[in-house]
Amino acid sequence: MVQANQGDFTADLIIKEEWCKGCGICVAFCPREALFLDEQSKAQKDMEKCTKCGICETFCPDFAISLIKRRLFANAGDETGLDARK
């Protein structure tokens, strides 16, 4: 397995709705307005706007938001693949 450029990664933004108490801090700090509160005052994401900067994760007082980054690796016969290590 050959490693791609160090900056090449994919990321998933995970919101644990059961931990979110709807304070709206993540919404207020999101520079791309990718987060919003739904009818139940739970944080939701618009992944088309999200740049995965991690600011929401940093400011969430309930640890309800996680940004999971994974490095991309080149696989034989494939452009890129996910490595299990983070």
Residue count of the chain = 86
Q: How far is CA 56 from the centre of its chain?
A: 9
Tell me which residue of 46, 43, 41, 47 sits closest to 16, measured CA to CA: 43
Give pLDDT tens digits along the chain (86 positions): 333 444 577 889 999 999 999 999 999 999 999 999 999 999 999 999 999 999 999 999 999 999 998 887 665 445 555 555 54
Tell me which residue of 84, 10, 82, 20 sits closest to 57, measured CA to CA: 20
Q: What pLDDT, on the 0 to 100 scale, is given for residue 8?
A: 76
Torsion of CA 35, 21, 64, 62, to 10 degrees: 120
Which top CATH class is 2-82?
alpha beta
Contact call for residues 9 and 85 (beta carbons, < 8 A): no
